[in-house]
Amino acid sequence: MLCFAEKRRLRAARCIALETRKRVRPTRAVHSALCVLALWFTILASGQAVGESRTLRVGVYQNEPKVYWDPAHGPRGFYPEIIERLSQSLGWRIIYVPCDWSDCLNMLEAGEIDVMPDVAYSQERARRFQFGHEAVLHSWSYIYSRSETVLSALEDLDGRRVAILQDGIQQRRLLELAEQRNWTLQLVPSPSPGSVLQRVRLGEADYGIVNRFYGELHENLTNERLDRSQVLFRPAPLYFAFANAVTDGVIERMDAELAELKSSPHSPYHQAYQRWLVQSQQPTLPDWALWCLAILAAVLGGSFLANAYLKKRIAQARASLAASNQRFHDFAKSSTDWFWEMDEQLRFSFFSERFEMVTGVVPTQLLGKTREETGIPGVEPASWQNHLDDLKARRAFRDFVHPRVRPDGTTVHLAISGVPVFDETGRFLGYRGTGRDITRQKQSEAALAAALKEAASANRAKSEFLATMSHDLRTPLNAILGFSDLMRQQILGPLGATKYRDYAEDINASAAHLLDLVNDLLDLSRIETGNLKLDREPLQLFEIVSAAARTLDSIAENAGVTISVQARELESLCSADRRAIEQITLNLLSNSIRHTAKGGSIQVTLEATPAGGTKLIFADDGCGIEPDALPKLFEPYERANPLRARPYHGHGLGLPICKRLIEAHGGTIALESALGVGTIITIALPAGDAVKAGETGGYGEIDQPDEPGHMEDQRRLRLARSG
The more confident residue out of 524 and 254 is 254
Query: To the nearest whole number, what is the mean pLDDT of the chain?
Result: 78
Q: Are strands 186-190 and 161-165 parallel, antiparallel or unpaired?
A: parallel
Work out the average pLDDT over 24-30. 46
335/340 Cα distance (integer angstroms): 13
Work out the average pLDDT over 83-100. 92
Residue 373 has pLDDT above 80, yes or no: yes
Work out the average pLDDT over 557-572. 83
Residue 720 has pLDDT above 60, yes or no: no
The per-residue pLDDT for 451 is: 87
The per-residue pLDDT for 652 is: 67
Cα dist from 192 to 31, 40, 66, 195, whole Å: 42, 41, 13, 5
Binned at pLDDT 50, 70 and 90, residue 560 comes out as very high
The more confident residue out of 652 and 48 is 652
Residue 310 has pLDDT above 80, yes or no: yes
Residues listed for the chain: 723
281-290, 389-398, 586-595: range with lowest mean pLDDT? 281-290
150-164, 359-373, 509-523, 707-721: range with lowest mean pLDDT? 707-721
Residue 132 has pLDDT above 60, yes or no: yes
Work out the average pLDDT over 350-379. 88
Note whether 405 and 352 are within 8 A (CB).
no
The per-residue pLDDT for 335 is: 63
Work out the average pLDDT over 312-334. 73
DSSP state of 415: E
The winner for highest mean pLDDT among 200-214, 225-239, 642-656 is: 200-214
Local structure of 170: helix, strand or coil: helix
The dotted CATH code for 52-281 is 3.40.190.170
Question: Considering just the CA atoms, what is the radius of gyration of the chain in Å?
Answer: 45
- Give the start-end residues of each E strand in 255-357: 338-342, 348-351
51-60, 178-187, 360-369, 454-463: range with lowest mean pLDDT? 454-463
User: 4-10 long-range contacts, Cβ below 8 Å, gap at least 24?
Assistant: 5/97, 5/98, 5/99, 5/103, 5/107, 5/112, 5/113, 6/97, 6/112, 8/98, 8/99, 9/96, 9/97, 9/98
Residue 416 has pLDDT above 50, yes or no: yes
The per-residue pLDDT for 15 is: 42
Note whether 612 and 578 are within 8 A (CB).
no
Work out the average pLDDT over 639-654. 56
658/580 Cα distance (integer angstroms): 8
Residue 708 has pLDDT above 70, yes or no: no
The more confident residue out of 522 and 655 is 655
447/205 Cα distance (integer angstroms): 61
For the segment(s) 531-722, the CATH number from 2.40.110.10, 3.30.565.10, 3.40.640.10, 3.40.50.300 is 3.30.565.10
The per-residue pLDDT for 525 is: 64
Q: How many CB atoms neighbour CB 199 within 10 A?
A: 20
Binned at pLDDT 50, 70 and 90, residue 212 comes out as confident
pTM, full prediction: 0.34
Binned at pLDDT 50, 70 and 90, residue 77 comes out as very high
Q: Are strands 161-165 and 348-351 parallel, antiparallel or unpaired?
A: unpaired
Q: Are strands 93-98 and 55-60 parallel, antiparallel or unpaired?
A: parallel
Query: In terms of Cα–Cα distance, which of 464, 499, 520 is closest to 704?
Result: 520
Give percent of the chain above pLDDT 90. Answer: 24
Work out the average pLDDT over 284-308. 72
Query: In terms of Cα–Cα distance, which of 568, 561, 562, 556 is closest to 605?
Result: 568
The per-residue pLDDT for 698 is: 34
Residue 617 has pLDDT above 50, yes or no: yes
Work out the average pLDDT over 574-588. 87
Binned at pLDDT 50, 70 and 90, residue 97 comes out as very high
The per-residue pLDDT for 334 is: 59
The per-residue pLDDT for 651 is: 62
Query: In terms of Cα–Cα distance, which of 127, 105, 132 is closest to 116?
Result: 105
Run of H or E residues at 678: strand 678-685
Run of H or E residues at 556: helix 553-559
The per-residue pLDDT for 352 is: 86
The per-residue pLDDT for 116 is: 94
